[in-house]
Amino acid sequence: MSGNTITTPDRVTYTPSRAARELGLKRREFDLAVHLGRIRTVPDEGGGGRRVAPAEIDRLRAEDGFPQSLHESVRAVGTGEAAAIMEVTKERFTRLARLGLVVPVYFYLNRYRALVWLYLADEIRQFAADEKNAYLVKGRMPEGLREQLDTGLDLRPRNWRGRHLGFLLRQAEDPWQRAGALAALLDPVQIADIAKDPYERAHLNRFRPGPPNHGAPGSPTALLAERIMTAGDPDEIGWLRADLAQALDEAREHRPAPRPAPRQAPPAPRHDAHPSEPERTHRLLSWLRRRST
């Protein structure tokens, strides 16, 4: 067994890094392909994360247009390139994104600590090519949409969370993992209000994924990722709470949360009917001293 492959009598699987090399993808492209469901993974039987079976790599290689088609399906672009694909200004594209009409797939902080959203080039092309969207791409923005933008509406974080939740749920193997996926988008106060039992809450937190890897813990990038990961809109929080409550019911039926074994009561003190040997000796010596006086 090597660090790149695991071999069992009937199975060989590859690490994500090895699978990315086999498919000619950069690691971030590979991770995005997994998130989007383009590449199917399997759990590591040794508990070391997700892996890829050779049959999945063979399937992807056999697709028409490989490798270019796979590369293009996960090509992520920033606002400037997305606007160029759509043939609109960057300001126009940003407005469409804030309205939730195009959904980001990734985000990061640039060197100026500005938040940068990335979008799938394929989805941008499809949106621009759809005749139903022509008035949004070329025409005057409808007044109702302009009013929403004037109030500060920005659905990019929420839409990213929805997309990320879909990925987490696809990876979930059992009801506790599904509950953990929903809990990943709620802050601890909301979770504690739903999972009131401390043992159940601790078990749920074992399956609660953290934000995507964005910098060292406590860094500005990590704090931003945590903020974007956490639902903030009241209606979003409401449906997440309702779904989490239902998921917890299913998880309890599947397998109750573990609890510590009950403590056994200490043995009751013995009350012997006859005095112990030291007591008898003490009494005998006391009696002899009284006789000698």
pLDDT tens digits, residue range 229-273? 999 899 999 999 999 999 999 999 999 999 887 777 666 666 555
> Is residue 29 within 8 Å of 20, Cβ to Cβ?
yes
**From 71-85, 161-175, 194-208, 253-267, the region with the lowest mean pLDDT:** 253-267
Q: How far apart are the first and last CA of the chain?
A: 89
* Dist. CA 36–CA 50, nearest whole Å: 15
Amino acid in position 246: Q
Q: Output the pLDDT for position 219.
A: 87
Instruction: Quote the pLDDT of residue 124.
Output: 97
For 209: left if phi > 0, alpha if psi spans -120 to 50, otherwise beta; the answer is beta
Would the pLDDT of 212 be above 50?
Answer: yes
CA-nearest of 173, 175, 201, 196 to 255 is 175
Q: Which of 192, 72, 86 is nearest to 134 (CA)?
A: 86
CB 94 within 8 A of CB 141: no
Residues with Cβ within 8 Å of 119's Cβ and at least 6 positions away in sequence, in order, are: 76, 77, 78, 82, 97, 102, 103, 104, 105
CA atoms within a 13 Å half-sphere pointing along the CA-CB vector of 68: 2
Q: Categorize the per-residue pLDDT at 275 as very low, low, confident or very high, splitting at 50, 70 and 90.
A: low
Contact call for residues 13 and 6 (beta carbons, < 8 A): yes
Q: Where are the beta strands (DSSP E) in the chain?
A: 5-8, 11-14, 42-43, 50-51, 76-77, 104-109, 115-120
**Exposure of 134 by Cβ count < 10 A (0-12 exposed, 13-18 middle, 19+ buried)?**
exposed
User: To which H or E segment does residue 229 belong?
Assistant: helix 220-229
What SS3 class is residue 131?
Answer: helix
What is the pLDDT at residue 32? 94
Provide the pLDDT for residue 255. 95
Tens of pLDDT, residue by residue over 148-187, are: 999 999 999 999 999 999 999 999 989 999 999 999 999 9
**Given this model, what pLDDT does residue 278 score?**
59
DSSP letter for 52, please.
B
pLDDT band at 84 (very low <50, low <70, confident <90, very high): very high
Identify the pLDDT of residue 7.
Answer: 46
Q: Does residue 291 have a pLDDT over 60?
A: no
User: In this predicted structure, what is the pLDDT of residue 283?
Assistant: 58
Average pLDDT of the chain is: 88
Name the strand (E) or helix (H) holding 219: none
Residues 197, 259 contacting (CB under 8 angstroms): no
Which pLDDT band holds residue 218 (cuts at 50, 70, 90)? confident
